[in-house]
Chain A
Amino acid sequence: MLQVDVEKQLRDFPLQVRFDVAHGEVLALVGENGCGKSTVLHLLAGLLRPDSGRIALDGDILFDSRLGIDLCPESRNIGYVFQNYALFPHLSVHDNVAFGLRARHLPSSDVKSRVRRHLEAAGLWELRLARADRISGGQKQRAALARALAIEPALLLLDEPFSALDASHREEARKNLHCIIDEMDVPAVMVTHDWGDLSRLGDRICLMRQGLIRLTGNREEFSQMLAKADVQPPDV
């Protein structure tokens, strides 16, 4: 279980978020550009430091301002799929997926077998030698996901994971991700603008505005709350 209760002063407003995410659950963060959604992911990953609060994952404290604990990103074991995928353009698809395993100094036989398993699962084994900047958008998305999953993360962070895909590939990618999260049984936090992502993947949805979570609920509750509050769902 991921437990988050943090505050951070951003340039224009204070960010204050509090939520829990259970194993196998996908919490979707939605809201206008600049409302602090991606900042929340950066805070969870340790790429930004909250001003105060606490982040705990399966009982391990990742950040606690009172106890003075702030684990660095490399010690958090979090799989992060960035919005532009952030694949290393100078490396092959294989070496991108192997990157996290090599950084952990795993034996090369383990690296080989794990990379092969994840590349085959992502349908990228044939493309393993291709440079990461020379593959299609859909292949990049699968490579970034395979790279994040190869480290067997305790938490999955997804920043607009399907934004670079065309509509025909999105549905398949959503189904694929849903299966993976179910299988891995880890908490996942997803930032999205896409109503399709929310309705297919978001087990729980938080609407953010100006650094605060304004509405929260499961898919049905969220739709009802939006209707009641006369708020348009994002990007419909």
Chain B
Amino acid sequence: MSGNNPAKQKQRTLARTTRWSRAVPTTVVSLLLALCLLFLGLPVASLFLRSGSSLSLHTISDPIVLDALRLSLSTAAATTLIVVLAGTPVSYINARYRYPGKELIDSLIDLPVVMPPAVAGIALLMAFGRMGVLGRHTSALGLEVAFTTLAVVIAQIFVAAPFFLRQARSSFQEVDANLEAAARTLGSTPTHAFLHVTMPLATQGLISGAIMTFSRALGEFGATIMFAGNFQGRTQTMPLAIYTAMQSDINVSLCISLLLVIISFVVIFLVKSLARRNAHAAG
């Protein structure tokens, strides 16, 4: 009988084993993915579910929300502008040239990424505070930095600049130096070559770096509360307003959180579309 054929039996066993050996990893991976989705998606979904009623016109027009929104957007925009203007040449130099102390500068650029935000806040206070290393001199001249809107921008620059500097540097490194050399031999000055060859080729990377910096600046909390304080309309950005409102009106807190999630989502969407465009252009 064919059912007793040992070869066929062996084949059936092998097929069963293969089915199992395929099914088990698929199930495990599916479970892990579902868990991951639940873990990341549940808090965000809960925020939307719980804050449905909070996102009323009344809550959005609350002065705390409006002040925080205005301050956060304006300071994050100022931070991004300063970081892009000052960081682009610095990143280009770091990508193209060697100079004494470059390793140290590189490490310093990366430091704020690993430094706890509260430590960053204390460090900024020690530098620019009223009794700080530099702050005592600026105070003598009548320029107070700590606990002002300027301090919010400084704190944001400190923690968010590395995101742009790292991205911009790698974008410049990806531009073949021979292209700049070719431009020079064709009659370009270094500035012309930079503006017409290097910048256009690095633009996508620079824009994603700027968006990440804006996003990080928008979410800045620890360094800001330590160095700039928490004064509504002056230093109270959206993350600080969430923290403050939690103690009095959870609806306001939820409303600001929701606004931040929406802004963050738009930012991620922009970065991904840019990356896709970049990949498409490269392909």
Contact = CB atoms under 8 A, between A and B. Distances in A.
B182 A74 contact: no
Interface stretch (A24-32, A82-90, A109-117, A176-184): A82-90
A79 B201 contact: no
Given A88-B197, A90-B200, A103-B192, A82 B186 contact: no
A63 interface: no
B182 A82 contact: yes
Given A88-B197, A89-B201, A90-B201, A103 B179 contact: no
A99 interface: yes
Nearest to A157: B185
Interface residues of A, number: 25
A88 B187 CA distance: 14
Contacts of B197: 88
A99 B183 contact: yes
A80 B187 contact: no
Given A88-B197, A90-B200, A90-B201, A100 B179 contact: no
A86 B178 contact: yes
A100 B200 contact: no
B45 interface: no
B184 to A, nearest CB: 4
B178 A74 contact: no
Q: Is the interface of B mostly helix, strand, loop or mixed?
A: helix
Contacts of B196: 99
A147 B178 contact: no
A80 B181 CA distance: 9
B30 interface: no
Contacts of B182: 80, 82, 86, 88
A154 interface: no
Interface residues of B, number: 17
A73 B178 contact: no
Contacts, number: 61
A42 B181 CA distance: 9
Query: Which of A73, A79, A82 is most buried by chain B, counting CB atoms within 10 A of its CB?
Result: A73
A78 interface: yes
Given A82-B178, A86-B176, A86-B179, A73 B184 contact: yes
Contacts of A47: 181, 184-185
A200 interface: no
Interface in A202-220: none
A57 interface: no
Interface in B185-210: 185-189, 192, 196-197, 200-201
A73 B176 CA distance: 18
A151 interface: yes
Contacts of B178: 82, 84, 86
Q: List the 10 closest A-B pairs by CB distance, nearest first.
A: A100-B186, A103-B187, A86-B182, A73-B184, A80-B185, A86-B178, A74-B187, A103-B188, A90-B200, A100-B187
Given A86-B176, A86-B182, A99-B186, 18 more contacts: A42-B181, A45-B184, A72-B184, A72-B189, A74-B184, A74-B188, A77-B187, A82-B181, A82-B182, A84-B176, A84-B178, A86-B178, A86-B181, A88-B179, A89-B179, A99-B196, A103-B192, A148-B186
Interface of A: 42, 45-47, 72-74, 76-80, 82, 84, 86, 88-90, 99-100, 103-104, 147-148, 151
